[in-house]
Amino acid sequence: MIDWHINSWKKFVINQQPDWLKQKKYKDNIKIISSFPPLVFPEECDTLKSLIAKAQKGEMFLLQGGDCAERFNDFTSAKIKNKLKILLQMSAVISYGTKKKIIKVGRMAGQYAKPRTSKYEKIGNKCLPVYMGDAVNDTTLDSNSRKPNPDRLIQSYHYAAATLNHLRAFTHSGLAEINKINTWNLKNIKETKSIKNYNKIVESISSSLSTLDSKAFAKMKLTDFFTSHEALLLDYEQALTRKNTNSKAWYNCSAHLLWIGNRTRNIDSAHVEFLSGVSNPIAVKIGPDVSEDEILDLALKLNPTNEPGKLLFIIRMGHDKIDLHLPKMIRKIMRHRRKILWVSDPMHGNTIVTNQGIKTRHFEDILKELTSFIKIHKELNTIPGGVHIELTSDNVTECLGGTTKKIEPTNLNEKYETACDPRLNNDQSLELAFLLNKLLK
């Protein structure tokens, strides 16, 4: 941070960048993006930071969710509205049970770049560059579609801007207000156990609202909605990073909250260097290989002044590893009195591949990791501050299990649509929110 400047990351090791073949076009496009208006404003990032600071004290709870990889093809009003709706419904459920306000953050309006384990993918006798998100290439299995295309960066900006505009329109027109909760009940779909439970909660929220005075009512508004994505493509992120004219601080104006993925979170990486200089709230994904010293180094580099609400650690260990690793990490951070919001991503450490070669996750494993995460925090008297979930409101069959409509291995092919990692469907997401309620009590 001491010698940080907007370009300082370029002296550090950079991983997970596509091989942009058309270098001139690439550079020209980055220049064009740097002339575009910011997508979010510093003041909004500061508001989010102040809410995260409250969550660090246990006064709020963070719900972050959305697709693993957002698709340009999914840019329809219905898809955006439904994704927002499932997050609002989960928030209502969690809030009802915990009596805490929920900070809602979408993996939305910019989650277009994906880090990958391998650079290439073998399909039959063809070897193609791997799909790295719609900001880079397309999922279609031919070499032309898989070539990193710099024009997609410009498209990413426009899709993010238009998605954000639509989200703002929905939230500001009242969709997200608690008094509209009646309109989000689930009467028209088959009544499963979680839908019945959900409708009961909706009824009891609505009846308590009718007796509230207007001041209490105003306080219950759910209109704040924030955006986030993995800050992977650093030239793109830099192009949208701007100096605030008042405070002279730098803000990454591509989203309110940016996270560093588990594959790019080494202390000497370009990603950590770049994000150490921006004033947004920053999250880091923490896998089971991170050592206690590394986690402390990350806390010191990314938040040297120990500013409240600034730094989140998103724990994604795997249900069988979390008990071994997380307690040591929390103790280390506590000994050094660093302010962190501890968030559980119970998805990414629990990915498996079936015999048929399908990537999936067991609802049971997801729940186990979440249960351990909360139990560990209770034992250490620290705060389980939020969850980070890959989900969709569509009725996909990507993750196994769930009790309302159990997905079996033989169902996976029925509606498997994700471009990257398997997501919880609408029912599984709601069910998780109910279970989370019980766990947090």
Q: Which is nearer to ligand PEP, 310 or 348 (CB)?
A: 348
54 touches which of ligand PEP, Co ion, none (CB within 5 to 8 A by kind)? Answer: none
Residues 90-129 that bind ligand PEP (CB under 6 A): 115
Q: Which is nearer to ligand PEP, 161 or 419 (CB)?
A: 419
Q: Which of 177, 273, 421, 431 binds ligand PEP (CB under 6 A)?
A: 421
- DSSP secondary structure letters along 315-329: E---TTTHHHHHHHH
Query: β-strand 101-106 against 257-260: which pairing, if any?
Result: unpaired
- φ/ψ of 56, rounded to 5, equals -65, -25
Q: Which is nearer to Co ion, 68 or 202 (CB)?
A: 68
Which of 247, 274, 244 minimizes the C-alpha distance to 259?
274
Q: What whole-number distance in Å separates Cα of residue 394 and Cα of residue 409?
A: 18
Q: What whole-number distance in Å separates Cα of residue 356 and Cα of residue 410?
A: 10
348 binds ligand PEP (CB under 6 A): yes
Q: Which of 29, 262, 418, 428 binds ligand PEP (CB under 6 A)?
A: 262
202, 181 Cβ separation under 8 angstroms: yes
Place of tokens 């219950």: 220
Site string for ligand PEP, 297-336 (x = CB under 6 A): -------------------x--------------------
Nearest approach in angstroms of CB 367 to Co ion is 18
- DSSP secondary structure letters along 175-228: TTSGGGGGGG--TTS---HHHHHHHHHHHHHHHHHHTS-HHHHHHT----EEEE
Q: Which of 74, 273, 421, 427 binds Co ion (CB under 5 A)?
A: 421
59, 100 Cβ separation under 8 angstroms: yes
Q: How many residues belong to the site for ligand PEP (CB under 6 A)?
A: 9
Residues 269-288 that bind ligand PEP (CB under 6 A): 285
Nearest approach in angstroms of CB 154 to ligand PEP is 23
Nearest approach in angstroms of CB 114 to ligand PEP is 7
Q: Report the helix count and the strand count for the chain, using DSSP H and E.
A: 13, 14
Q: Which class for 422: exposed (0-12), middle (13-18), buried (19 or more C-beta within 10 A)?
A: buried
Q: How many residues belong to the site for Co ion (CB under 5 A)?
A: 2
Chain CA centroid to CA 86, Å: 14
- φ/ψ of 312, rounded to 5, equals -120, 135
Nearest approach in angstroms of CB 348 to ligand PEP is 4
Contacts of residue 245, Cβ cutoff 8 Å, sequence gap at least 6: none
376, 323 Cβ separation under 8 angstroms: yes
Site string for Co ion, 67-96 (x = CB under 5 A): -x----------------------------
Nearest approach in angstroms of CB 4 to ligand PEP is 23
Give the binding range for Co ion (CB under 5 A) out of 162-170, 287-295, 320-328, 414-422. Answer: 414-422
Site string for ligand PEP, 391-420 (x = CB under 6 A): ------------------------------
Nearest approach in angstroms of CB 316 to ligand PEP is 5
Question: Which residues contact Co ion (rule: CB under 5 A)?
Answer: 68, 421
Given the rule CB under 6 A, which residues bind ligand PEP?
A: 68, 115, 261-263, 285, 316, 348, 421
